[in-house]
Structure 1
Amino acid sequence: MVRAARARPRRRGMTPAAEAAAERLPPAQTAWMRALAGQIRRPLGFAIGLPLLSGLLLLPQAWALARALQMIVMDRLPLADALPLIGLAATLVLMRAALVWMAEYAGQHAAESVKRSVRLALFRRLLSAGVLWSRARASGELADALTARVETLDGYFARYLPAMASAAILPLVFCVVLFGFDWIAALVLVLTVPAIPLFMALVGWGAEAAGRRHAAALARLSGLFADRVRGLTTLKLHGRAQAEADRVARASDEVRERTMSVLKIAFLSSAVLEFFAALGVAGLAVYFGLTLLGMLELRASVLTLEAALFCLLMAPEVYLPMRQLAAHYHDRANARAAVAEIASLFDGLPKVAETSDGMAPSASAPTSTEFSIHALRMPVPGRGAIRLQSPALIARGEWIALTGASGSGKSTLLETLAGLRPYEGDARFAGRSLCEWPAATLRRHVLLIPQRPWLAPGSIADNLRLACADADDAALQRAIAAAGLADMIARLSRGLDTPLAQRGQGVSGGQAQRIALARMFLSDAPVLLLDEPTAHLDDASRDRVLAEIAAFARGRTLVVATHDPVVAAIAGRQWTIDADGEVRP
């Protein structure tokens, strides 16, 4: 069945300003972004500090050029006398170019570190939440969050944060220096420069709201497209291909409209900011021109060509940090929209805490494999709940057969014991609540083989080595022989190297389950949870595989759900789930 992407309700009857205010980033998400920045202090410090140094070097560069022209044009000195100043200006240009390159490199390094840590944290969230959590969400949206949404953080850390620091410091420093050359020029810049951040703040609310709407539309399109492609065969068989194609087309049109809305705001803000910058530079040019021609007398002293050229050379640079900040302001809006989208999709933002290898530290191994259960209630959507009211214990090495009618909840109980389902009540593994165990630790000690096991795209050998990555060919052969797969593998032209498509396409359901059993024979998990392990086998094959399971499970805890009394007979105890969902140990 193809899952539909989650549709988010649109706010109706709200003005753009009200909608923008409603969609501002919550404090927790803002703090999460600050925490990310705190993890990359060193490269981010270089990305911020080097452009500041480059901007400060612009002052002696402009002075050297202005002084050289003063010497050549007004003082009538030979060109050779001005060559040292020209050489100084050229050297400073090269130095500034090198500093800008190093700053960009540091910014990209910082952004890549953040994206890597966020993706690892999201992957850990996916693994810890389990397959039931991810199954309830559109896979396209999850893939889009891990790729495109995380990628939008690049511009925020690599470009926006350095631009914000430069815009906060450099214009103020430049205006203070220009005040010593011409106070009127400095006053013009002081009056016009603040208009840029004021307009950016006004536009920023609308840009962030438009960015959020665009991110939501793009996520919906990603979820629709990915799920429809995966379920294309089912859609065609049921005559829904054209209807779903029209639905994807409508989602694409929505993304186009949202994209044009974001671009409209971006171009409008850029045009206004360029207008303010051009107006300020043009005003200074007119002022200095009229003053040098003697048509305007506002200065107490004579205006020199050196001072006028220095101010004119620095005037565009005063606006440049603000213009760069405006250009990258949309990176901020996109990043904040992506963070909000990730928080909505993953039920909150993950904790990003890397160790030396980029993975979260693992918890200590359990000291026992005992399950203790009391007043357990397992909700099943649309079917009420499965209940185990009386205290129950699954001791280490004990074998239990779980029986009941089809649909009674045997699979639900196994998935709960594996830590894959939410539950109410008290369920403990090794003396610790199931929900408190890290997913990675629980997976190493509790092995679940469901009725429809998951097979990854790759060869049969690749799927077997998921249980033991360093298993050699001899170990693989022993495992497939124990699972009753030897004859089937021998008939395949490529043997264990036979490729499997998505979800194990290429083998039957019974063969997929036996591949999962072979994978079990390669594992060292002390707890085995098997769901109908012999359902697809004839009596002879069932007896042979059952004997292998019994031999492998010796000394391990085994819980097997089955309808077959022969399979149930191998267990020492039997739990039954009645028609009301009550588990009776």
Structure 2
Amino acid sequence: MLLLVQAGLIAHVLHAAIVDHAPRADLMPALWGLLAIYGARAFCAWGAEVAGFSAAAGVRAGLRREVYAHIGRLGPAYVAGRHSGDLATVLVERVDALDGYFARFLPQMALSVLVPLTLLAAIFPVNWVVGGMLLLAAPFVPLFMSLIGMGAAAASRKQFDTLARMGGHFLDRLQGLTTLKLFGQARRELDLIRHVSDEYRQRTMGVLRIAFLSSAVLELFSAMAVAVVAVYVGFSLLGYVRFGPSGGVTLATGLFVLLLAPEFFFPLRQLAAHYHDRAAAVGAAARILEVLETPVEPRAGIHAPAGAGPMALEMVGVSFVHGVGEGARPVLDGFSLNVEAGERVALVGPSGAGKSTVISLFLGFLRPGAGVVRIGGLEVGRIDPAEVTAWVGQNPHLFHGTIRDNIRLARPDAEEDEIQAAADEARVTDFAARLPQGLDTLIGQRGHGISGGEARRVALARAYLKDAPILLLDEPTAGLDAANEALVLKALDTLARGRTVLIATHSLSGIGWADRAIPIEGTAEVVADA
């Protein structure tokens, strides 16, 4: 409406000044009205942009939370089977690529329908010939957009695939930088990274080339349509055209329709300019949807009672295969075991026999190909293992933050005295006392700043704080010297009281710590007492 009033006022002022020779004083109210309209349009444009970006930010934040939560529900097995660089790209770059679609393209798509229809409704009563010209020209804009957009979507999809490869390649090489340096391959890998990044640059330029081409084509088309309208209006004013309402065209009506003609195409041109945002979103959304549509193992929702005592663990005829296709490798074949409530059992066997696989099956991270896995008499899938199990591995992940925060991860609502008690029981305070700020000392990602043995004690403190009835241990003493191994086993001895414990270990001390041992070769059921 502001646009129509603005065009009407401009046409009125120029007609009054040129044709009617109206005095300046008579034109001042209209000029002040024009100034107010310009200000109002600027304010509306600013408000629309702020609203669009705010809405897009909300959508991105919500989608990122949903993707992150879904990956969490899929579990570590899903993450382990994908490159971390690809998942990071999904959570960051691909979600961010939707910003332009929600902030610019969708609002502009609504405007590209409403504004032209409103302008046509205003133009047809004034000059139906000009209205007909604009109506005939309008369908060509979305036609060109769709033709060009198909290529843009494919190019954007290839661009994001290249970005995912580049991110994964770079992360993999960065994590293995020490190995590359030791073998003198750092320069070679640098050249490979340069090659991958150059490929991404070329893909990006290809997407931009299509975007600029679409804008240029539509700018040319709309300029030609406006030029035809201008020629018709001009010739009508000069009396050279007798078709339609040409005889009744005045300077005011001619200027009115001529001023509205570019505005008729403006939202369509803006839509074309933002069409690459849609193409980028389509390319990004494919991988996001692939993650979100990955099915999650349903759970019946049976909750363990609060303060539940030790619970039995059982496997009956379990088979499991790692990988798919030609890379598939059988790990377990008809494997069975039974761990009584409150019992300590050690899984013993060579690397690759399936000890960690058994632990992961009880944690619910993996699903057996055949057989049954039970916790407390209930099949995994009917009960949430996270509620009744605590896990300690040989490489516990510690996050950037304080030692206290890393312990609190097991139970965010824990009181300070409970965290302190867990740290004392796990012997964390023994080494934390030597640190500048004790438990409030900052550590880096993956426990940077403390030793491997100290990191495992932090993981033990988490298990203490969680206070779960089942304790699953995956090589908790691997790679430790005798002193640290003794400290960890002593802490485990306290933690294991009143709990069911299943420990995968190579250590003779760990085997001796258990009540009995189960040798595992992955292809047969073998049970032996220690």
Q: CA deviation at 1:476?
A: 5.0
Q: CA deviation at 1:459?
A: 3.6
What code does the residue aligned with 1:331 have?
D
Contact 2:429 2:439 in 1 (8 A): no
Contact 1:411 1:450 in 2 (8 A): no
- The answer to whether residue 304 in structure 2 is matched with residue 366 in structure 1 is yes
Structure 1: distance between partners of 2:508 and 2:213? 74
What code does the residue aligned with 2:304 have?
P
Match of 1:243 among 188, 204, 207: 188
- The answer to whether residue 95 in structure 2 is matched with residue 153 in structure 1 is no
Q: CA deviation at 1:520?
A: 2.0
Q: CA deviation at 1:331?
A: 0.6
Structure 1: distance between partners of 2:252 and 2:378? 78
Taking structure 1 as reference, are residues 286 and 139 closer, same or farther at Cα in structure 2, changes over 3 Å only? same
What code does the residue aligned with 1:85 have?
A
For 2:248, what is the secondary structure of its paired residue? coil
For 1:239, what is the secondary structure of its paired residue? coil
Aligned residues: 516
For 1:421, what is the secondary structure of its paired residue? coil
What code does the residue aligned with 1:523 have?
K
For 1:560, what is the secondary structure of its paired residue? strand
- The answer to whether residue 282 in structure 2 is matched with residue 336 in structure 1 is yes
Q: CA deviation at 1:472?
A: 6.5
Match of 1:512 among 447, 452, 455: 455
Q: CA deviation at 1:209?
A: 0.9
Taking structure 1 as reference, are residues 329 and 64 closer, same or farther at Cα in structure 2, changes over 3 Å only? same
- The answer to whether residue 107 in structure 2 is matched with residue 169 in structure 1 is no
Aligned to 1:65: 10
Q: CA deviation at 1:253?
A: 1.4
What code does the residue aligned with 2:248 have?
V
Taking structure 1 as reference, are residues 349 and 109 closer, same or farther at Cα in structure 2, changes over 3 Å only? farther
Structure 2: distance between partners of 1:492 and 1:169? 66
Q: For structure 2, which runs of at least 5 residues remain unmatched after alignment?
A: none
Aligned to 1:11: none
1:112-152 per-residue CA deviation (whole Å, 9 max, x = no partner) reads 12111111112112322333332332222222221111011
- The answer to whether residue 346 in structure 2 is matched with residue 408 in structure 1 is no
Taking structure 1 as reference, are residues 472 and 234 closer, same or farther at Cα in structure 2, changes over 3 Å only? farther
For 2:304, what is the secondary structure of its paired residue? coil
Q: Which range moves more in the overlay, 496-505 or 104-113?
A: 496-505
Structure 2: distance between partners of 1:349 and 1:104? 35
Contact 2:56 2:99 in 1 (8 A): yes
For 1:455, what is the secondary structure of its paired residue? coil
Q: CA deviation at 1:339?
A: 0.7
Q: CA deviation at 1:236?
A: 1.1
For normalisation by structure 1, the TM-score amounts to 0.80
Contact 1:405 1:579 in 2 (8 A): no
Amino-acid identity (%):
42
Aligned to 1:325: 271
Contact 2:304 2:387 in 1 (8 A): no
Q: Which range moves more in the overlay, 498-507 or 192-201?
A: 498-507
Q: CA deviation at 1:571?
A: 4.5
Q: CA deviation at 1:181?
A: 0.9
Q: For structure 1, which runs of at least 5 residues remain unmatched after alignment?
A: 1-55, 352-360
Taking structure 1 as reference, are residues 537 and 142 closer, same or farther at Cα in structure 2, changes over 3 Å only? closer
Taking structure 1 as reference, are residues 472 and 435 closer, same or farther at Cα in structure 2, changes over 3 Å only? closer
Aligned to 2:446: 503
Q: Which range moves more in the overlay, 536-545 or 248-257?
A: 536-545
Aligned to 2:48: 103
1:517-563 per-residue CA deviation (whole Å, 9 max, x = no partner) reads 23322222222101233445666765665454333333332212234
What code does the residue aligned with 1:244 have?
E
- The answer to whether residue 20 in structure 2 is matched with residue 75 in structure 1 is yes
Taking structure 1 as reference, are residues 527 and 236 closer, same or farther at Cα in structure 2, changes over 3 Å only? same
Structure 1: distance between partners of 2:204 and 2:173? 23
Structure 1: distance between partners of 2:358 and 2:295? 28
Aligned to 1:14: none
Structure 2: distance between partners of 1:527 and 1:151? 41
Q: Which range moves more in the overlay, 270-279 or 164-173?
A: 164-173
Match of 2:130 among 185, 195, 204: 185
Contact 1:178 1:185 in 2 (8 A): yes
For 2:366, what is the secondary structure of its paired residue? coil
Aligned to 1:33: none
Taking structure 1 as reference, are residues 140 and 570 closer, same or farther at Cα in structure 2, changes over 3 Å only? closer
Taking structure 1 as reference, are residues 167 and 540 closer, same or farther at Cα in structure 2, changes over 3 Å only? closer
Aligned to 2:520: 577
Taking structure 1 as reference, are residues 302 and 493 closer, same or farther at Cα in structure 2, changes over 3 Å only? closer
Contact 1:402 1:576 in 2 (8 A): yes
1:77-117 per-residue CA deviation (whole Å, 9 max, x = no partner) reads 33333434334443333333333322222222221121111
Taking structure 1 as reference, are residues 175 and 224 closer, same or farther at Cα in structure 2, changes over 3 Å only? same
Taking structure 1 as reference, are residues 443 and 180 closer, same or farther at Cα in structure 2, changes over 3 Å only? same
Aligned to 1:19: none
What code does the residue aligned with 1:376 have?
V
- The answer to whether residue 87 in structure 2 is matched with residue 142 in structure 1 is yes
Structure 2: distance between partners of 1:128 and 1:135? 14
What code does the residue aligned with 1:575 have?
I
1:456-492 per-residue CA deviation (whole Å, 9 max, x = no partner) reads 2334333223224466676555444433455433444
Aligned to 1:446: 389
Aligned to 2:322: 380
For 1:181, what is the secondary structure of its paired residue? coil
What code does the residue aligned with 1:206 have?
G
